[in-house]
Chain A
Amino acid sequence: MAGQSAAIIESKDAYFSYSGDGEPSPALSGINFSVKRGEYVALIGPNGSGKTTLLKLFNALLIPSNGEVLVKGISTTEEDKLPEVRRSCGMIFQNPDNQLVATTVEEDLAFGLENLALPVSVIRKRVKATAALLGLEMLLKQPPHLLSGGEKQRVAIAGVLAMEPDCILMDEPTAMLDPAGRHSVLNTVHALNRNRGIAVIHVTHFPEEAALAGRVLALNEGRVVADGAAKKVLTDLDLLHKIGLQGTTAGELAALLRLGGCPLPSHILNNRELVDNICTLAQNN
């Protein structure tokens, strides 16, 4: 497929500091990385490591104080291309209550499209199609305050999706949800990534969520400290512990078992792998 390897987002030696914070060190220093079409990147790091700041650079909510961020080759400093940048990279926030704008789900899905000043017939068509895709048809006439947290987040995703983005930026979208809501939101996003080739950058505190991503980027004190396959980054427990993070439960457990003398491999990431390995060990003994 043409453009399969093209970079959606490129960050070239980007620096950012919040002015007037009285903070001596910048929030981000020298970030170099790019996200290709269709990639799923989990962004991990302790509190204050610059995850949210980085995400906001990609949506042009913040402009790098040094260096450059390109979205589909457009620099985020180009004021007149801002609508295209925001259409191309939609953003989902943590609090489901504070990102739905309109009085009904239907109008909220239309909000971004209205901002693009699209013709009404196009807006109606896209709202309908997006709602059908995410199974939200039954909720179209509902006011947001009657929805569950998971439903609100899915409406927010639909609002971004209606704009036909190339990339979805998510800032801890599941942090305020119950397990069922988390599950449905993650399923929705992974399906969009798989079936429609939409790139995802997912900021998360849950190692289990990061483990589902193809690629994991770890930030600490505004710098990239690890960038690679989930299997590689999330099993490097020494590094994770050094910056105050944890591996997945299965990974941590496997490490403890190894310490106790159990010969488990070091690449275990999820429960399934742990169970399989232990069963193999038990059968061999």
Chain B
Amino acid sequence: MARSITMGQYIPGVSIIHQLNPRFKLLTLVLILALLFLLETFGALVVSLGMALALFAMAGVPFKYLLRGLRPVLYISIFALIIYFFFTSGGVVLFRIGFLTVESEGGEQGIFIIARLVVLVLFSLLVTLTTTPLSLTHGMAYFLSPLQRLGLPTEEVAMIMAVALRFIPTLMEESQRLMRAQLARGADFETGSIFKRARNLVPLIVPLFVSAFRRADELAIAMEARGFRIGAKRTRMQDDLITFKDWAALVITLALIVLVLIFNL
């Protein structure tokens, strides 16, 4: 059971994209998103779409994950398309429905916006599919670390996230065990109205909470025993490695931005 729990959207792999430092990955992603907003021509968008797909192929992410990730975009796209079609004027009138007119300018702009959105989501997906949630958390904590000067505990929040991720499977196992124990005592989690079922979950949730608090207590002592102190300086073994590949990814992205700016693509 616990074996089948996948964390976040991460798909394990050993590609170059998997190996990139999460800090660089996030930074590059932000730059690429900025780049997408600089683009002005369909041709440039098509090229960036091609690049995104090529990177997916490089990462070895199965095609179905890509489609699954794009599904939520579909609804936004339809909505955006309708707005652009009917409420943007300019260009040739394509057709008329009652008092609403669809003009070529609106159609063009709508499609352009959606195409940009799709490419944008694809690049974001690429990062979340190839980085563990833990690495992502620590990557973000790194960029938020200046906020520490304002008194925000970014390091501690990252640690809390890491510990939470560690204990999700343990607590899942525990809830399964509790459920079986309560079933053995004649509990019923499956029949009755929704309110009745919710009520029947109480004998499951209460012991789960009690045990989670006990665990938290013991873990805190164990962490302290191993020298963890809030606010003390720590190093991190993972994600600390910055290689040539990371710099290469960053430089290529910056070069693309310069190219786009120069040629007004």
Contact = CB atoms under 8 A, between A and B. Distances in A.
Interface stretch (B64-72, B140-148, B176-184, B219-227): B219-227
Interface stretch (B45-53, B96-104, B114-122, B232-240): B232-240
Contacts of A243: none
Contacts of A103: 132, 134, 162, 165-166
Contacts of B165: 103
B237 A160 contact: no
Interface residues of B, number: 32
Given A93-B218, A98-B219, A146-B2, A124 B229 contact: no
A210 interface: no
Where chain B touches its partner, the secondary structure class is: helix
A127 B222 contact: no
Band of interface residues on A: 35 or more
Interface string B203-244: 000000000000100110111111111001111111011000
Contact of A110 (B163, B169, B227, B237): B237
B15 interface: no
B185 interface: no
A90 interface: yes
B170 interface: yes
A167 interface: no
A86 B225 contact: yes
Contacts of B2: 145-146
Interface string A28-59: 00000000000000000000000000000001
Given A86-B225, A127-B237, 7 more contacts: A93-B222, A99-B219, A101-B222, A107-B237, A115-B228, A117-B232, A123-B235
Interface of A: 59, 61, 82-83, 86-87, 90-91, 93, 95, 97-103, 106-107, 110-120, 123-124, 127, 143-146, 159-160, 163
- What 4 A-B pairs come out closest when comparing CB atoms? A99-B222, A115-B227, A98-B218, A110-B237
